[in-house]
Amino acid sequence: MSKTSGSRRKGPLAAARNLWRYRDLVGRMTARNLKVKYKRSVLGFFWTLVNPLMTVTILVGIFSYVVRVEIEAYWAFLISGYFVWNFLGQTLSSATYVLREYGQLSRAVSFPKEAPILAAALSRLVEFTIEMVLVLVIVAVFRHGDLPASFAWIPLLVVIQVLIGLGLALPVATLAAFYHDVEHAIPILLTTLFYLSPVFYSADLVPESVRALYMLNPLAGLLTLFQSVIHEGQAPPPGLLLEVGVFSVMLLALGYTVFNRFEPLIAEVI
């Protein structure tokens, strides 16, 4: 039996169970995202790589030869974090329109609105995984000369990365369902965040006097972890790992709470 009333909201456990029941839907939405994106293009998946590849080439060129950033094997440093940033940025941009994409469906069928948000992150994760494998192969061969043991930490870091991505995407998608402004604000915010995050420079280059403040940016810790594991080939600093891990869980809890509070209204407003 199912019962709905104005005041009742699902607890996280009930919501997780409900989402599990709809896992097939999440899978189909993920597959659809990828299918629609690459349908009717001859080069298909290759296009996902073109944009980041261009950006990476330009950034490497500029910061190795023009504005010299004093980092050894700068190219390896850049690709250690760039794709992580790309995953988060693209997940957030899709969050601004993904609920509206399923607007008509939302008014015809009742389904958990987490599903399209989760599917947006998952389809990005599929692309990220392929990009990451390429990065790891290239860095292992051309920088380390063998497979560093530190690479074993990457799955854990990716889990943290996805938690952070969802923790941000859930409230952003909710807000975007109510306010169209979000669609315009997010690209600006992402550009700002790109410069405020250690993607093309390392966090130790930030003056020590402001570093504590700088590290409040949730992405700073995550990117630093990826860079130490991939570029330096060293185990992640345990303190930082714990900090970022705990933070990611808290962020997801908070983001989910906001989403859950407004979820019942989403079908009416989009």
- Applying CB under 8 A, which residues contact other proteins? 1-6, 21-22, 24-25, 27-28, 32, 35-36, 39, 102, 104-111, 178-181, 264-265, 267-269
Site of tokens 């692309």: 127
User: Closest separation between CB of residue 203 and other proteins, Å?
Assistant: 35
Q: Name which of 109 and 188 has its Cβ closer to other proteins.
A: 109
Please say which residue, 39 or 210, places its beta carbon nearer to other proteins: 39
Nearer to other proteins, 110 or 257 (CB): 110
Structure tokens at 12: 């996280």
Shortest CB 5 distance to other proteins, Å: 4
d(CA 217, CA 203): 11
Closest approach, Cβ 264 to other proteins, in A, equals 4
**At which residue do the structure tokens 């390896």 appear?**
76
The nearest distance, CB 196 to other proteins, in angstroms, is 24
Q: Which residues of 1-35 are buried (b: 16+ CB within 10 A; e: fewer)?
A: eeeeeeeeeeeeeebeeebeebeebbeebbeebbe
In the complex with other proteins, the residue whose CB is nearer, 52 or 112, is: 112
Please report, for residues 36, 133, 188, the alpha-carbon distance to residue 127 in angstroms, rounded to integers and kept in the order given: 14, 10, 24
| 211 versus 261: smaller Cβ distance to other proteins | 261
For residue 106, the minimal CB distance to other proteins (Å) is 7
* Residue 27 Cβ vs other proteins, minimum distance, rounded to whole Å: 8
The span from the CA of 157 to the CA of 238, in Å, is 12
**In terms of CB distance, is 215 or 258 closer to other proteins?**
258
Structure tokens at 251: 């962020």
Give the residue ranges of DSSP H helices in 102-237. 103-106, 114-139, 154-178, 181-196, 208-214, 218-230
DSSP 237: P
